[in-house]
Chains A and B, each alone.
Chain A
């Protein structure tokens, strides 16, 4: 049972464009939603995270939009750069769900110069 569904699996964006990755979750107990970024040959690293008490969080060119009623959240990368080419994972966790991260399936982003 995949509790966090992520789409698309792959994404190609031109340099300067906006990259959008979407995630949907089922467990309403989730209360923390991080995004991880993974470069080839490396382990994932925390990029940005949000709690459900806010609808948006922005850090530089990266923004998380959160829709609690729809149980969806998304990552927007503004002015996408070739250096953003990586695999992105959304995740969710809850203090009431054993504090374990449940990951989405991942999105492989390629930003063309």
Chain B
């Protein structure tokens, strides 16, 4: 069955370190997204991609970057981790460009920055 996976599931790091969170989907979806989830804020969009070599900033992109070298993967990098980036991170994908297309979410990565 097609799926979307994230790794690691849990990560503890120190302030200032570079961290990369992996996202891999086997749906062959062109559209991929990264969100962060914080209590009271719901899910906020960090970055998104409509296809290979395409990346775009979302609502809360400062301090984060992504790259898209193939259809299956969209890694999220925190260039210099900050305590404010402690959160749960979700990757998602969808088949089409329209907002009405269902987004499929990964299981999440809980990141703690000390």
Q: Which of A81-105 contact B (CB under 8 A)?
A: 89, 93-95, 97, 99-101, 103-105
- The interface residues of chain A lying within 8 Å CB-to-CB of B41 are 105
Q: Complex: how many Å from CA A99 to CA B100?
A: 8
Neighbour of A43 across the interface among B40, B42, B45, B105, CB < 8 A:
B105
Q: Which of B82-113 contact A (CB under 8 A)?
A: 90, 92, 97-100, 102-108
Q: Tell me if A100 and B45 are in contact (CB < 8 A).
A: yes
| Residue B58 is within 8 A (CB to CB) of chain A in the complex | yes
- The interface residues of chain A lying within 8 Å CB-to-CB of B48 are 100
Q: Tell me if B98 and A43 are in contact (CB < 8 A).
A: no
- The interface residues of chain B lying within 8 Å CB-to-CB of A105 are 40-42
Q: Tell me if A44 and B105 are in contact (CB < 8 A).
A: yes
Q: Tell me if A100 and B99 are in contact (CB < 8 A).
A: yes
Known: A43-B90, A43-B106, A100-B48. A89 touches B43 (CB 8 A): yes
Q: Tell me if A106 and B42 are in contact (CB < 8 A).
A: yes
Per DSSP, are chain A's interface residues mostly helix, strand or loop, or mixed?
Answer: loop
Q: Report A21 CB to chain B, min CB distance, Å.
A: 13
Q: Complex: how many Å from CA A44 to CA B4?
A: 12
A-facing mask of B41-80, CB < 8 A → 1, else 0? 1111100100000000010000000000000000000000
Considering residues A44, A45, A46, which has the most beta carbons from chain B within 10 angstroms of its beta carbon?
A44
Known: A43-B105, A43-B107, A44-B105. A103 touches B42 (CB 8 A): yes
| Residue A6 is within 8 A (CB to CB) of chain B in the complex | yes
Q: Report A99 CB to chain B, min CB distance, Å.
A: 4
Q: Closest 6 A-B residue pairs measured CB to CB?
A: A43-B105, A93-B99, A103-B42, A99-B99, A103-B43, A105-B42
Which residues of B are at the interface with A, using a C-beta cutoff of 8 A? 4, 39-45, 48, 58, 90, 92, 97-100, 102-108
